[in-house]
Structure formats: C-alpha cells, structure tokens
Amino acid sequence: MIALARYVLARCLVSQRWVPPIVLFALTVGVFYSAGGDAIGTGSIAALILFPATTWVTISALHVDDISQITIVAVSHGSMVRARIATLLTSFGCACFLAVLSVGSAIATDPAHGAAGGVVTTLAGLLLINGLSALSGVALGQACARPLIPRAGLSWTLAVGLTIGLIAIPKSPLILVLAALSGAGRTAPWSEALPPAGLLVVGDVLLLGLALWAYHRRSP
Amino acid sequence: MSNEPVLTTVGLGKRLGRRDVFSAVDLVVWPGQVVGISGGNGSGKSTLMRVLSGTASATAGVLRTTTAPKAIVPERFVPPDHMTPLSYLVHMGRLRGQRRAHTEPRALALLDELGVANPRSSMLDELSKGNAQKVAIAQAFLSPVSLCFLDEPNTGLDDDTTVVVNAMIERAVASGTAVILTEHELTRTIRPDVQYRLQDARLTEVIPERAAPNDGARIALRPSGRASWDRLRAAATSVTLHRDEDVHDDDVSFTVDDGRVDEFLRMALDDGWSVRDVDTAPPRGGGR
C-alpha cells in the first residue's frame, strides 16, 4: 500500500496535476485567513473549499495513468480494487495534510487562537469538519472518475456541478453537517452535531463502496 | 516448485452486449509452463488476458489464480509521462515488495540487455514505441513472479530484441514462472508447451505437427558489414544460401541441433548477424 501511495504521489507530483486544485485552495483560504476572525468560522469556510479541492485531486489521481499502466499496477499490486483503494487513500492523505495546515492556520490567525470556544473544542470541531469534507471529496471524486464516467469532459462537468450544488444549496447534507459541527460544544451540544456527521460518514462510505463495486464490475 | 496449478478456469466466459467474446474456457496452467494463445485481430485475446489476469471480470465461469506475485505486459503500453525508465522500474519493483537497492541494479541490467539507452535521463513519453515496449517487458521480469501474462510482447520489437525477450522468458520459465502469452501467430515467440487458438469465441488446443526427433531448428540470418562466418559454420549442422524471390538475397539459413539454438543465436548476434526467422527444421530425408 505504501509503495503504491509513493507511486501515485510521484505521478501526481511530476505530472503537476496537483497544482491547480491546491493553488486554488491555498489562494482562497489565504484570502479568508488574511481577514482574521474566529477560528471556527474561517476554518469552516476553508473546510468547504477543501471539498471541491479534494474532489479535483481525487479525479486527477485516478486519471493520471493510462489504462495499460493501471493494468500493470493492478496486477503487480494484487487486484484492481486494492490498487484503486490505495489511490483513494493517497488522495485522502493529501487532503488531510491540507486540512492540518488549514486548521493550524485558522487557529494561528484567530486573535484569540481558538480560545473563545475552548481550544480543544475548536480544534476537535475543525478537524472533524475538515475530515468529513475530505472524505466527501474523495467519495464524490471517485464517483465522477473513469471508468464510471469514462469521458474526461463529462467527468469534470459532473464534479463541478455536484460540488457547487453541495456547497451552494443551503440545505445540502454537507452544509447542514458543517453548520451543526461548527456550533458543536459552543452554541449547541455535541450530541446534536454528531448524528448528522455520522450519517454523512455513512453516506460517504456507501458512495465509496458502491463506486468501488461498480468499478470492479465495469473495469476495462 | 509447487504442485498446485497457478491458474485454473472452469467454463470461463465473457459477454459484451450480445456478443460472446469467449465462452467455456477451461484452462489449467502449471508452474514453469508456457501457454500460447493465438488468434486474429479482434478475436478476443486481449480481453481473455485481462480476465485471466483479474483486471476485467468474467460474465460466466470460475477463475482461480495463485495469490503469489504476478506481472503483465499489456497490449499497447502507454508509458507514464515525465518519468525516466529507471525511476519507473524502481516504482514497479517497490509495488512487488522489492527494495530500491535490489531493484535498481536489476532494472539497469534488464534495460541494458534490451538495449534501452540513457535509462537515468531519457523520459518514458519520449521513447519510441519499440523502446517503450522494452520498458514494459523489463517491468514484467524485474522480480520473480509466479505467473506472467504477455499480451503480444513482441509488438514493435525488432528481430534481435525478440531473441533477447525470448531468452528472458526462457530464464523466467526455468525458475518456475508460468507464462501465458498471446500473439497473432506464435512464430516469433518461444515455442509454447501448450498452444491454443481463440477463434469464434472458442479456445481450442492446437496440436502441433511433430518434427522428427533431432531435426533441430532452422535459423535464417542476415549479415551486416562486420558479420563473421567462421564460428557459425562450425556450430551449424548445415548451411543454406537463399536465392529465391521471397527472401533477401543475403539471408543465410543454418540448421542447428535443438540443444544449441540459444547458444547459436547469441553467437550470431555477437558476430554481427540479424535474426530473420527461427523455425523447426524440415525433417531429414524429405522437404516440407
């Protein structure tokens, strides 16, 4: 698994496909953080931006190799599905790395350094929000990638449409969960925030599982 | 060497839409066995290879393969961009659990044997089709595997390289690797132990006509400017100069005893000859 993660990282790094999503994420988050403010507020906005960035990174990682190379990697690694899971975990790992930087920056740029709602509560809330955002991004990215969506143009269009929808629609599951988590431990008890977060995790895992099953069935 | 087959299929089938690509494929492959599958364009050889290698699902039947490491050379290898052959092979070695310190010298030796120049500096996406194919072949032979799938491995390779690839296959087979290989016609590959033909969605075993014992091989060679005759004349049992319209005027056929074919081919390459053809020698006392 580690060898495959290294390979996927190396491929993404040298192909420079990571540049657009990560630069976009860094620039957008930088603009929000430069204004300062409450860590949980700015950190939640950054988590929202992490969602499309992770979707983009995931699709890039899944599209970086030709099918002949995917075949070589899958046979060498043991199975198509295991190789796919390793690629998804690599994308999730990259998103978590961004999330840690983002949460650190949110607390650092907060004048109270997250102490307003309690540092531990703020840190836990932000990490949960970002983790969920990253997981949702990986799940959506895989569902929009080939071979389920074989044409790259349609793949990107669908991904952009769905991410905008999930971010922009006020009552989308992602927005509801992020709103609940950002108030958890401060304006509302954790017991009210965790069930919807759990449901989102279940939804993401189901989407990942279904897409993996379809990938296994439709693998070239 | 294990007594268990490395691959078994029972009634394996693949259906795409309303068309059977292949059906009722029963196959047993043992360690150290070479299984050849021939067939025309679009006959389904590559689909069969993908199903056998586990990278595509079957629509009928059962496939059982060993859990030990496997390798594949796919048809039409499109190499990853912005990577050198060496770094690519090191990554592929790591995927099979090999350390860089072990993989790097092995990768360099394989690339040198196959004639890939500048493995540390050239980029895979800038290689010619033939050189990219050599890298694909090198990754398959990087480390010992139980089963190797070679889907038209000689595509884009010149005759001299084909001889090198065949020698690599022979070495792998000698160490216990089972090989399943496909070609349109199995004339440029090593002789399979079992040979099948995929036609009209059916895989049928081909029983080759047996040559008389000790007839050996007929090897057609073409000389270059520096080619030397002496060692080859001494090693061959007979020598024939070609003078017919179907072959190049300079080509020379040598008949060589079965046990000396590899040694003879290496000698020919060392002495500046190109290999044009390797075939079974016609039975003594009668032509074909």
Domain-wise residue ranges, chain B: 7-69+144-206, 217-280
pLDDT digits (tens, 9 = 90+) for B31-50: 999 999 998 888 899 999 99
Q: What is the CATH number of domain B217-280?
A: 3.30.70
Residue B273 pLDDT greater than 70, yes or no: yes
Q: Which of A3, A66, A74 sits opposite B55 (nearest CB)?
A: A74
| Gap from B83 CA to chain A (nearest CA, Å) | 8
The whole model's pTM is what? 0.77
Instruction: Decide if B56 and A7 are in contact by the 8 Å CB cutoff.
Output: no
Alpha carbons B236 and B244: distance in angstroms, whole number = 21
Q: In the CATH scheme, what is the homologous superfamily, with its name and number, of domain B7-69+144-206?
A: P-loop containing nucleotide triphosphate hydrolases (3.40.50.300)
Using CA coordinates, name the residue in chain B closest to A214: B57
The whole-number pLDDT of residue B246 equals 55
Alpha carbons A167 and A10: distance in angstroms, whole number = 31
Are A166 and A173 spatial neighbours (Cβ–Cβ below 8 Å)? yes
| Gap from B166 CA to chain A (nearest CA, Å) | 20
Q: Is B96 on the interface with A (CB under 8 A)?
A: yes
Alpha carbons A217 and A84: distance in angstroms, whole number = 13
Residues from A contacting B (CB-CB < 8 Å) are 3-4, 6-7, 10-11, 14-15, 64-69, 71-80, 216-217, 219-220
The whole-number pLDDT of residue B285 equals 43
Alpha carbons B43 and B76: distance in angstroms, whole number = 16
pLDDT band of A39, cuts 50, 70, 90: confident
Instruction: Decide if B54 and A7 are in contact by the 8 Å CB cutoff.
Output: no
Instruction: Decide if B55 and A75 are in contact by the 8 Å CB cutoff.
Output: yes
| Gap from A51 CA to chain B (nearest CA, Å) | 28
Backbone angles phi, psi at B252, to 5 degrees: -130, 135
How many domains, in total, are found in chain A? 1
The whole-number pLDDT of residue A143 equals 93
pLDDT digits (tens, 9 = 90+) for B178-232: 999 998 776 777 888 999 999 999 999 988 665 555 568 888 888 877 777 778 8
Mutate to test the interface with B, among A19, A60, A76 (most CBs of B within 10 A): A76
Alpha carbons B220 and B261: distance in angstroms, whole number = 12
Q: Residue A103 belongs to what domain range?
A: 2-218
Are B273 and B222 spatial neighbours (Cβ–Cβ below 8 Å)? yes
Residues in A touching B50 (Cβ below 8 Å): 71, 220
Please tell me the number of Cα atoms within 13 Å of B258 on its side-chain side. 11
Q: Is B71 on the interface with A (CB under 8 A)?
A: yes
